[in-house]
Amino acid sequence: MSTSKDKKAKALAQEQKSKRQTRTIVIIFAALVVVLLAAALLINSNLLRRNGTAVKINGESFSPVDYNYYYSNAYTNYANQIYSYFPDNPEAYLPDANAPFAGQLYDETTGETWADVFREMAIESMTDTAVKCADGRANGFALSDEQQQAIDDQVARLRTSVEQSGAFRSFDEYLKSRYGAGMNEECFLDVLTRARYAECYDESVREGFTYSDEALEACYRENRDSFDTFAFRYFYISASNFDSLEQAEEAARAYADAADSEQAFIDAARDYDSETFADDDATLRHYQGDILGSVYGDWLRAADRKSGDVTIATMGTSGVYVVYFISRDANAYPMVNAYAVEFDAAGDGDEAAREEMRKRAEEVLTQWEADADHTAENFVNYVTAYSDNTSVENGYLANVYRYQYTGEMNDWLFDEARKPGDVDLVSYDENRCFILFYDGTGDDYCDYQAENKLRTADYDAWTERLTQDVTVKRTWLLSLANK
């Protein structure tokens, strides 16, 4: 039998065991809390945002910070397009930039949010970068010193701009506000360099395709109906001005029968609508074959078409075109190169704004004429100082083809007496004019067209090969993005 002493010993042992178990539980719980706190700190730190993998594309890793760069650019590029297409009411086509995109529906029927839209745009752009970087490395491509310097200069210009604005305490603070948590100058330079590497490699591949004269000639011959430039005249007779479409067609035939010369066609158009066709060139067009359209395009492209031919072409039930064929050009001429200082009429382009535009242009031209240095290099300084268009680098218009610019500008550029170094002020339209510096001739337009078609086909085949069987893996770290 157990004695009282034995019972006390057992009770004491049990109590000590219970205390040890409790202490163990407390230690485990404390350790778990420490682990969870450490994990929370790690997750909310910049370490994972900068070094973790949020998306892996064919083995190419992108961190949450990288993803944010592409996501932000996707939104910015989309917004810029909307502002360009719908300048009067862009807000109707954009999400509220001050509210989370994930809470704003893009498509009510599918439940797709704006965040979904920009995420897919970002991953599409990341995929393009990933496959081209991988292919570039496999083929030994490296950025040139000039290309790397251009990247460094871009970052330096942005840093200077931010510092001069005074809106942020540091460049890193600006980058964080622009691209999200974790972004700093080092990360920005890394992600920008990778993106530019892909772009530079892409350009080197596209420009690396070469073609023989025989290949260019064969390509042009095969596509001449699309490449050739057609000179013709036309005017449109609306059926709404008659009791029926048949009456409109009858009137069109009468005008066509009377147009036994180009001047007679001009007169016929003016007889139909004296206001619209008051100018002799109001009916004149110079179009490449690929944009002639389906109503009268086949007629103009016909192999047996000759100067002075006239036809009518009915467009559905709405009206009838009267068309006069002048000529077909195989584009066997050199394109031209020029520098341009552009002047635009301010605001809505009223008469006062147009007069001010012309005055500014004439003053700059006078300044140029008084300048002793009439080199192209010095003209670029005028472009930088005075041009209203900063989107064209150095204002250089390379390989301009006939009728790319209309009216006085086209006539000046392709004047047979034009010689390198010529400078003049020419009008483009009533709200825009240019001071042009003629820089000589470029490639033959027919070769340029053929080469561009062949190059585009080869480039498209290359990009299609790169993007076949692409694998995109998204990890849980993607949840750290956009924060």
Which residue's entry shows tokens 């040890």? 20
Structure tokens at 206: 């596209």
pLDDT of the chain along its 483 residues, tens only?
556 666 665 656 666 656 566 565 555 554 444 333 334 434 556 888 999 999 999 999 999 999 999 999 999 999 999 998 998 899 999 999 999 999 999 999 999 999 999 999 999 999 999 999 999 999 999 999 999 999 999 999 999 999 999 999 999 999 999 999 999 999 999 999 999 999 999 999 999 999 999 999 999 999 999 999 999 999 999 999 999 999 999 999 999 999 999 999 999 999 999 999 999 999 999 999 999 989 999 999 999 999 999 999 999 999 999 999 999 999 999 999 999 999 999 877 789 999 999 999 999 999 999 999 999 999 999 999 999 998 899 999 999 999 999 889 999 999 999 999 999 999 998 999 999 999 999 999 999 999 999 999 999 999 999 999 999 999 999 888 875
Question: Which amino acid would we find at residue 33?
Answer: V
- Pairing type for strands 310-315 and 112-113 reads unpaired
Residue 94 DSSP symbol: S
Residues 6+ apart with CB under 8 A from 144: 200
Paired strand residues for 336: 400, 441
Q: Token pair for residue 265?
A: 């066609």
pTM of the entire predicted model: 0.80
DSSP-assigned beta bridge partners for residue 285:
232
Question: Per-residue DSSP letters for 245-258?
Answer: HHHHHHHHHHHHHH
* DSSP calls for 125-180: HHHHHHHHHHHHHHTT----HHHHHHHHHHHHHHHHHHHHHTSSSSHHHHHHHHH-
- Note whether 107 and 117 are within 8 A (CB): no
Pairwise CA distance, residues 197 & 341, whole Å: 32
Rounded to an integer, what distance in angstroms lies between the CA atom of residue 8 and that of residue 20? 18
Return all residues near 266 (Cβ < 8 A) that are at least 6 apart: 233, 277, 280, 283
Q: Tokens standing for 308? A: 């002075």
User: What does the pLDDT read at residue 347?
Assistant: 79
In contact, 64 and 477? CB cutoff 8 Å = yes
Q: 178 CB contacts (<8 Å, ≥6 apart)?
A: 72
Give the DSSP H or E segment for 65: helix 64-85
CB count in 10 Å sphere of residue 246: 11
Task: State the DSSP string of 433-463.
Answer: EEEEEEEEEEEEHHHHHHHHHHHHHHHHHHH
pLDDT score of 8: 63
Under 8 Å between Cβ of 389 and 342: yes
How far is 202 from 197, CA to CA, in rounded Å? Answer: 8
Give the SS3 label for residue 424.
strand
What does the radius of gyration of the chain's CA atoms come to, in whole angstroms? 34
